[in-house]
Structures are given as structure tokens and as C-alpha cells.
Structure 1
Amino acid sequence: MTTTPQSSPHAVPHPFGRTLCAMITPFTRAGTLDLDGAGRLAERLVSEGCDGLVLNGTSGESPTTTDTEKAALVTAVREAVGERASIVTGVGTSDTLHTVELALAAEKAGADGVLVVTPYYSRPPQDALEAHFRQVADASGLPVMLYDIPGRTGARIEPETMIRLADHPRIVAVKDCSYDFLGTQKVLARTGLAYYAGCDEHILALYAVGAAGCVSTVANVVPRRIADILDAFDAGDTARATRLQLRATPLIEAMMGAGLPGTVTAKALLTGLGLPAGPVRAPLRPAGREAADMLRAAYEELAEA
């Protein structure tokens, strides 16, 4: 849906935009899906620099939302933002047939693409992973973003597997949480896959070697700050881009590296700012007072910088 602006010197494909937010899923106080809040949050994210939204991913609590809720969220966010941002939705499960069903439902709900995580827990070998991704990509007309996050799934999409998958016409992008910078560069050098940094601390580093952008959890809270990093790089001001990335590091560490899931930290901050969020669903638990205070201090430090 979104392509690289002609004025950008960063001449790589941007199939889903450049600054994508891994959007949380707002719930009501009673724990039900808050579609009105989701629309308002999506509107804020887009108005403050996000040109893509990733719904129903890790940050969106996909393990604890129903198939019906996932489709309803896509429809509500599409109504809120129209065509101003791409919508990619998570459909990955441990079951290939269920993943296919979710991909077809996402297409019907109005998504622009699907995020397909490595099947977790069962740890299939590489040939089985490749067959899984190809079957999902064959099932609908939507382009696919692979999600490589072995720390959560227990299985890596190895670089050679990724290179083979790149020949599929609908496998176009990767959300990279592999923590294998060398492996990522090997794939970038040998394919046309659009890589998106899935770890906020890697946004600038990965962009500098040819990534398409980021899928940021921290952008839930400071979307403009994340977009500014990539804007500075695209403007040729790499020194400013570096300063902005480093300036955001304390908040990135507080949200993503302090022992709590990003969903929990993002919702704690959004709630404190009076923005749509609501509770997390069990087995996740809300941030305690000490953690919430630490998060707010890191946020205020960045806001005042």
C-alpha cells in the first residue's frame, strides 16, 4: 500500500510504510474489546507520524484475543484511519490451518497485509517452517510479513530459509527480532525482502544498512519521537538521527528491557497519559506502582529533552 517517497534518499521498498506501530489492543475496564478506544488510539498514532499499524501481534495480546475480536479490531481501525496508513494484522498460530483461516478473515476484514510468526512451542525444522509460510502465503491475496522472534517462539527462521522464502511473490517483508545482525545483513544483501526492526533499540542501526523501517512498540507512547529518528536519517542528518535514537534509549530500556512485556509497559504509560489502553488479559498482570513510576520518569525525561 505504501511505497518509498520519491524524495527519500533511502531508496528501499516500503511495502507497508516506514514507521509502523505494534499497536496495543485497548480493553474496557471489564476486559472486553474497546473498539472505540482502538479507533481513537489509531487516529493518534497516524496523526503523529505512523504510516502503518500492526494489529493483533505480540503487543496486541494476540494469544488472548479471539478470532472474532481480531477481525473486529481490523475493521474498527480501518474505519478510523481509512487509507492514511497500512494495516498489517497478526495471524500466526502454532497451527497452519488455523493460520490460513485467520489470513482469510484478515483479508475479508480489510487488512493490507498479514504478520505471520514462526509456529511456536512445537519448534518445527526449517523445511516444515518453509512449507508453513508458503501455505499461508498461498491462501490469500494479502502480502506477508514474516515475524522472526526465536526468543519467544523457540524456533529461528534461518537466513538460508528466509532467502528461499523471498522467491514467493507474496512474502515481501520481515519483522526482525532475531538479534542476529549478521544474519539479517546476509538476507538484505541477497533478497528484496523489506526488513522492519522489531526491537526498538535496533531501529536506526537496521535502517542504516537498508531496512524499510520499524515495527515499534515504544511508538504506542511516543510515535512522533520514533518517526523523527527515521525522518532525520532520510534527510541526510545522520548525526541527528543518532542523537534521537540515543535520546530515546532510556525509555526503550524502561519499556522493553526492564523485565516486563512491552504490552504491560505500554498500557501502563498510556493509561497514565489518559489514552486508550485498559487492562491486560491474564496471564499478564499490570505493572506495579514502582514499575509505573519508573516508566513515567523515563517518559517525562524524553518528553522534556
Structure 2
Amino acid sequence: MTAAPAAPFGRMLTAMATPFHADGTLDLDGVQRVAKHLIASGHDGLVISGTTGESATTTQEEDGEVLAAVRDAVGPDVHLVAGVGTNDTRTSLFLARQARERGADAVLLVTPYYNRPGQRGILEHFRQVVEAAELPVMLYDVPGRTGSQIALETYEAALAWEPVIAVKDAVGDMPRAARLAQMGYAVYSGDDVNTLGFLAHGACGLVSVVGHAAGRELAAMIETFLAGDHAGAREIYLRLMPAFAGMMGVPNYGATTAKGALQLLGVLDNRAVRSPLAALDDEEYADLRAALTAAGLLA
């Protein structure tokens, strides 16, 4: 049997939601509860201050506080990947240095959004942040949110920098993901529903949203597939289909559905998000409960 691809940050990671109090202020006790819940439910690592962590509306100071609180909660052996990507290189440089100082093991670096630089600008942005971080780097390709995509030639150039070792791929192009794995990237699926297909194309693991509610199940699916039991992995995948649809099939999924799931599980006492996001309303919350129940994730 072919050896499983190397997974430098573990195989099962979740892009962790950032808890807030009902008034919108940062809830550091909630941050630690969520981190402990995720690690207790099958995760190898966590991605902090990514899109699901509402990084667009948290301050630089809050990002540092969240990372430090998570590290304190989970101890030294859990892989922590800190989101440092912004559309301003200077801000990303600050966040990269802060991530190193506050205990991150690696950084997640998304392409600059809204101002949509060309490939030369993307590569220069990456270079500066890679040098500032002095940590392993996971690139993040999510053109549906950023408006730009990393070209294969840019991926090839970035591999010349030793810290660049992984990519969170939310493009959804599986043959392209296979090419990235062939280049030498550790490829992580960036969409829960695509994970089985990505594993078949050489991916090593997952950066999840549904993992807030289904960490053990997703970890088991990945390990079962990589052990060669493809039918068994498919069975787990099919059981989780209602959860994929319930958590990923609504507008502004991510923070909103992750916090709804955490409230249903009793980890959080509210599902507050920061504007311009809107928390799940009662009907959406009931639909999420039904979806997670159908997937066997709620009693």
C-alpha cells in the first residue's frame, strides 16, 4: 500500500471560531473552552484567526490574545496555525511576528483580498511575510472570498522558500490539488465536503468548519481512507452529509454555523458574531439542530 502523505500539522484541523460575549466583546474564557473541546474531539491542531475566526473584524491585539489563550489552554504539543493574511502587507508582517511571539507553530497566509494584486504582487507579499514569520507557512487559496487565485507558477516559486510547506486549498479543483501534492506541498482540503476526493488526489488532511461538531468522525474518515478502507471512509462521509449541508449550505457559513453548533453542544452559551455577519436566527438554528441530529452528532 502506498504510504500516506506527510502531514506536517496533523491530519485533522479546524479553523476555530472566535467566541464573543453577547455585547460583541472578546470572550477569552469561551476561547479556551472551544479550544479544549476541539482537542478533546479528535483534532491534531487548530487554525486560529482565520475566516471562521472572524479575522476581518478582530483587532491585531485581539488576535494575539486569542492565540495566547489557546496555547495556554491546549499546552505545547498541539499544532497551532495562526492566520496572518490580510490585504495590507505591513499588517501581515506585524501579525506574523506577533504569531511567533505568542506561540504559533506555523502561519496561514491567504492571498490579499479586495485589492486583488497580480501574481507578482502576490508572490512579493508572500515573500515578505515568510521572512517575517520565521515559521512554517501554509498558503491559503480561496478565490471565492479573495477574488484572486494562486497560479501554479507562483506555487512553484514559493517552494524555493524553505518555510513554505503546505496549502489549504479551497479552490475545489482536484486535479490541480494533485499537481500541488506532486510539487511537494502538503495539501489540506479547505472544504469539508471535498475531503474524500482530495485525499484520493494526494491531500494529507483537512482544515475544517464542520469539525466544530464532528471532529472525531472526520478524523476517523481520514484515517480510514488512508489505511486503505475506502468503503469504510465513504460510509462515514455519507453519514456526515446532513452536517455538511447544514453547516456549509447557508449564507455566511463558517463563524455563524460553527457558533450555532457550539451552542447546541453546550460549549458556548450564545452564538454571537460581529457585524456585518448576522447570527443564525431561530429558524436557521432549528435547521442546524435537525441537520446535526440527522448526522448522529446530537442526542
Residue 265, structure 1, aligned to residue 267, structure 2: no
In the alignment, which of 137, 156, 162 is matched to residue 163 of structure 1? 156
Q: What's the counterpart of residue 37 of structure 2?
A: 44
The residue aligned with 2:137 is: 144
User: 178, 191, 213: which is aligned to 2:171?
Assistant: 178
How many residues are paired up? 297
- Alignment-derived partner of residue 60 in structure 2: 67
Return the offset for 1:251: 1.1
CA distance in 2, matches of 1:256, 1:288: 16
Equivalent residues of 1:126, 1:161 under 8 A apart: yes
Q: Equivalent residue of 2:148, what SS?
A: coil
Counterpart of 1:110 (choices 103, 110, 134) is 103
SS of the aligned residue for 2:206 comes to strand
1:269 is displaced (CA, Å) by 2.0
Deviation string 1:57-80 (CA, Å, 9 cap, x unpaired) is 010000000101101111111111
User: What's the TM-score once normalised by structure 1's chain length?
Assistant: 0.93
Are 2:78 and 1:85 aligned? yes
Whole-Å separation in 2 of the counterparts to 1:101 and 1:218 = 30
- Is the aligned partner of 1:202 residue 2:194? yes
Residues 90 and 116 in structure 1, CA contact (< 8 A), matched pair in contact too: yes
Query: 1:15-58, CA deviations, whole angstroms, 9 ceiling, x for partnerless residues?
Result: 11110011100111222111111112111111111001001001
Name the amino acid aligned to 1:45. Answer: L
Describe how 1:113-128 pairs up with structure 2 within 5 A.
113-128=106-121
Which letter maps to 1:76?
Answer: A
1:169 Cα deviation after fit:
0.3
* Matches of 1:72 and 1:227, distance apart in 2: 28
Could you tell me which runs of 5 or more consecutive residues in structure 1 were left unpaired when the two chains were aligned. 1-7
Q: Is the CA contact 1:112–1:142 (under 8 Å) kept in the aligned structure 2? A: yes
Return the letter of the residue paired with 1:47: A
- Between the two proteins, what is the percent identity of the paired residues? 45
1:135 aligns with 2:128: yes
Residue type of the alignment partner of 2:79: S
> For residue 112 of structure 2, what is the amino acid of its counterpart?
P
Return the offset for 1:9: 6.2
Q: Corresponding residue for 2:25? A: 32
- Secondary structure of the corresponding residue to residue 166 of structure 2: strand
Give SS of 1:172's match.
strand
In 2, distance between residues paired with 1:170 and 1:84?
20
Two-structure CA RMSD over aligned residues (Å): 1.6
State the distance in 1 between where 2:38 and 2:70 align: 11
Q: Is the 8 A contact 1:17 1:85 kept in 2?
A: no
User: Which residue of structure 2 lines up, in the alignment, with residue 18 of structure 1?
Assistant: 11
Residue 286 (structure 1) aligned with residue 279 (structure 2): yes
Query: 1:5 aligns to what?
Result: none
**C-alpha separation between the residues in 1 aligned to 2:150 and 2:86?**
15
Q: Is the 8 A contact 2:138 2:166 kept in 1?
A: yes
Q: Does 1:243 align with 2:243?
A: no
The answer to which of 176-185 and 51-60 deviates more is 176-185
Q: How much does 1:260 deviate? A: 3.4
Structure 2 Cα separation of the partners of residues 139 and 37 of structure 1 = 30
